[in-house]
Chains A and B, each alone.
Chain A
C-alpha cells in the first residue's frame, strides 16, 4: 500500500500548490489592472490640472502685474480666452533650474533665469510664487506633486559670420524639427558707440529680412568695428508662428550692470554692480549705464520706445558699502526688452532683460524636481504667450505612489 500513500501525498501537495499558484496569479492580475487604472486616473487629473493652470487667470486676474500674492492660481492672460498665457504671471514663477543669487544691498534672494551672459531675469523670492504656495492654492498639497515646463516652440538662432565692416550675422528660424521657410524676420540692431565720456552712447537700426527655403537669412551692418559691443534681436513670424532670438557681443564681462526686478506693480528695476552679486575683487570701478526699451509690436516689428531721463535710464553704480544701486522704471506694461548698455574703464557691453517672459523666449521650469518620483504622467498643450508660440508640459505624480487618491 506504499504506492497508494505516495499517490495521495503527491496529489494533495500538487492540489494545494495549484490553489496557491492560482490565487497568486489571480491576485497579481487584479493588482495590475488596478494600478493601470490608477495611472489612467492620474493622467486624467494631470490634464485637468494643466487646464486649471492654463485656462484660469487666477485671482486677482491681473496678479502678474502686481506685487501681491494671488489667492487663486492660474496663468491665463485675462485679456484673452483659450490657451493664451500672461507673460507677467510667468515672470512671477520661481524657477527651479537656475541657481538663486543673493544681493546684499537689498538682503533678498532672487530666482534666476539666465540664458547665457547678458540675458538675465532675476525676480526676488518675495515677489515670486513658490511651488509650495502654488500647490496650496491649487488644493493638491500633500496629495499630488507637479512640475510645469513652458518652452518656446520656435528657435531663432543668430550666429556672427563676419566680425566687422561689414558685420554679418546669419539668422536661422526653426520649429520643432523643421525650418520656417520664407519667414519674415524683423530685427533690431543696437551698437555701443565709441565715446570720450563715461556714459555709454548707442545707435540703433531696425529692418526686415526674409528667410529662404531653409529658414535662413543673412543681415549685415556697416561701420561696426571688431571691438565694438552690439546686440541683434530678431523677431521671426510665419502664419501665426512667432519666435524670437538674440545675440550679443561685448568687449568686457568683468564688470557689468545686473538688472534685478524690484516691483512689478511700479515696473521698477534695480540696476546693480555685478561685483556686489558675484563678489569680484578690487580694484573697485564704477559702471556707467544707458538704458533703452524695445517693444514687440502687434504688427510683428520691433520698435524702440523712448525713455525719459526721469525713469533713471542713465546713471552709474559702484561696488561695496556706501554705494547705492540705481533704480529704473520701465515706461510701459507692454511686453518688450530692456536693453542696458554699460561702460567701465573704456570697456563696454550690453545686457538684456525681458519685460514679459516671452519677449526673449525664455523657458520656465516651475515646481518640484523630477528625480526619485515613483510614477510620473505628463500632459502637453500648445500655448501662446503674448503671441509667441510655446509648449506647456505638466508632469504630475502622486505622493501615495501607485495608490492614487482623489
Chain B
C-alpha cells in the first residue's frame, strides 16, 4: 500500500491548506470590494461637494451682485458612508504664474477610520479665495458658504 500513504501525505495537507486558503482569499477580496465601494461613494460625495462650491462661486461672480452678499448651501451629501463620517479639506492655487489666472481648488475627502481618501479639482475664476476650513459630513453645520468682498469671492466650509 505505499501509493495510499503517498496519496494521503500529499492530499491531506493540500486539503487542509485549502481550508485556510479559501477564507483568506475571500477575506482579501471582500476587503478590496468594501474599500472600492467606500472609495466610490466618497468620490461621488466629492463630485457633489465640488459642484456645489463651483455653483456658489458662479452665483456671486457677476457685477450685479453687490459686495457683502453671502450665500450658504447645504450640499446634500450623505452624512455617513457605511457608518463612517468623512472630512473635506481644501487648498487653492493659481494654474499659472500669470496675474489673474484661473484658480484650482483641490478638495481632499477622507473617510475617518479607514484608509479611503479621494481628491478632486474644482475650476474657479481668478477672484476666488479660499478660507481654510474643514467640512465634517456628520456635523449639523455641514455647509458651503460664499461671500463677496470687493469683487473677490471668499469660499469656505461651514455656515
A residues adjacent to B (C-beta < 8 A) = 1, 4-5, 8, 12, 15-16, 19, 23, 26-27, 30, 33-34, 37, 40-41, 44-45, 47-49, 51-52, 55-56, 58-60, 71-74, 78, 81, 136-140, 406
Once A41-B47, A406-B121 are accepted as A-B contacts, the answer to whether A71 and B3 lie under 8 Å apart by CB is: no
> Which residues on B sit within 8 Å (CB–CB) of A26?
29, 33
Taking the closest CB of chain A, its distance from the CB of B92, in whole angstroms, is 11
Given A33-B36, A71-B101, 12 other A-B residues pairs in contact with their CB atoms under 8 A? A4-B4, A4-B7, A12-B14, A12-B15, A12-B18, A33-B37, A44-B50, A45-B47, A51-B54, A72-B102, A138-B123, A406-B121
Whole-angstrom distance between the alpha carbons of A200 and B55 in the complex? 53
Chain B, residues 24-42, CB within 8 Å of chain A (1/0): the string is 0100010011001100100
Contact B61 A48 (CB under 8 A): no
Contact A71 B51 (CB under 8 A): no
Cβ of B159 within 8 Å of any chain A Cβ, yes or no, is: no
B residues adjacent to A (C-beta < 8 A) = 1, 3-4, 7, 11, 14-15, 18, 21-22, 25, 29, 32-33, 36-37, 40, 43-44, 46-48, 50-51, 54-55, 58, 61-64, 95-96, 98-102, 104, 118-126
Whole-angstrom distance between the alpha carbons of A298 and B22 in the complex? 75
Whole-angstrom distance between the alpha carbons of A58 and B58 in the complex? 12
Contact B3 A1 (CB under 8 A): yes
Nearest residue, chain A, Cβ from B122 = A48
A16, A81, A406: the one contacting B62 at CB < 8 Å is A81
Contact B40 A37 (CB under 8 A): yes
Whole-angstrom distance between the alpha carbons of A12 and B13 in the complex? 11
Contact A48 B54 (CB under 8 A): yes
**Interface majority SS on A: helix, strand, loop or mixed?**
helix
Taking the closest CB of chain B, its distance from the CB of A141, in whole angstroms, is 9
A30, A45, A137: the one contacting B36 at CB < 8 Å is A30
**Interface majority SS on B: helix, strand, loop or mixed?**
helix
| A-B contact list, 7 entries, CB within 8 Å | A12-B15, A12-B18, A23-B25, A23-B29, A37-B43, A48-B54, A72-B101
A16, A27, A58, A406: the one contacting B120 at CB < 8 Å is A406
Contact A137 B50 (CB under 8 A): no
Nearest residue, chain A, Cβ from B1 = A1
A34, A44, A60: the one contacting B40 at CB < 8 Å is A34
Taking the closest CB of chain A, its distance from the CB of B106, in whole angstroms, is 8
Contact A59 B126 (CB under 8 A): yes
Taking the closest CB of chain B, its distance from the CB of A169, in whole angstroms, is 42
> Which residues on B sit within 8 Å (CB–CB) of A59?
100-101, 125-126
> Which residues on A sit within 8 Å (CB–CB) of B46?
406
Among A72, A74, A136, residue most surrounded by chain B Cβ atoms (within 10 Å): A72
> Which residues on A sit within 8 Å (CB–CB) of B96?
71, 136-137
Nearest residue, chain A, Cβ from B54 = A48
Contact B126 A71 (CB under 8 A): yes
> Which residues on A sit within 8 Å (CB–CB) of B99?
71
Contact B3 A73 (CB under 8 A): no
Contact B121 A44 (CB under 8 A): no
> Which residues on A sit within 8 Å (CB–CB) of B55?
51
Whole-angstrom distance between the alpha carbons of A15 and B3 in the complex? 22
> Which residues on A sit within 8 Å (CB–CB) of B50?
44, 48
Once A72-B101, A74-B125, A137-B101 are accepted as A-B contacts, the answer to whether A27 and B1 lie under 8 Å apart by CB is: no
Whole-angstrom distance between the alpha carbons of A81 and B64 in the complex? 9
A12, A15, A48, A72: the one contacting B125 at CB < 8 Å is A72
Among B22, B43, B96, B99, residue most surrounded by chain A Cβ atoms (within 10 Å): B43
Contact B122 A19 (CB under 8 A): no
Nearest residue, chain A, Cβ from B121 = A406
Taking the closest CB of chain A, its distance from the CB of B110, in whole angstroms, is 14
Once A45-B47, A72-B101, A139-B102 are accepted as A-B contacts, the answer to whether A34 and B58 lie under 8 Å apart by CB is: no
Nearest residue, chain B, Cβ from A2 = B3
Whole-angstrom distance between the alpha carbons of A23 and B26 in the complex? 8
B22, B51, B54, B100: the one contacting A72 at CB < 8 Å is B100
> Which residues on A sit within 8 Å (CB–CB) of B4?
1, 4-5
Contact B18 A52 (CB under 8 A): no
A5, A55, A56, A406: the one contacting B7 at CB < 8 Å is A5
Once A59-B125, A74-B125 are accepted as A-B contacts, the answer to whether A12 and B102 lie under 8 Å apart by CB is: no
> Which residues on A sit within 8 Å (CB–CB) of B43?
37, 41
> Which residues on B sit within 8 Å (CB–CB) of A19?
18, 21-22, 25
B1, B54, B62: the one contacting A52 at CB < 8 Å is B54
Whole-angstrom distance between the alpha carbons of A41 and B22 in the complex? 34
Whole-angstrom distance between the alpha carbons of A55 and B61 in the complex? 9
Taking the closest CB of chain B, its distance from the CB of A80, in whole angstroms, is 9
| Closest 6 pairs (CB-CB, A-B) | A139-B95, A44-B47, A37-B40, A55-B58, A72-B102, A406-B120
Whole-angstrom distance between the alpha carbons of A73 and B98 in the complex? 13
Whole-angstrom distance between the alpha carbons of A49 and B51 in the complex? 10
Whole-angstrom distance between the alpha carbons of A47 and B139 in the complex? 28
> Which residues on B sit within 8 Å (CB–CB) of A74?
125
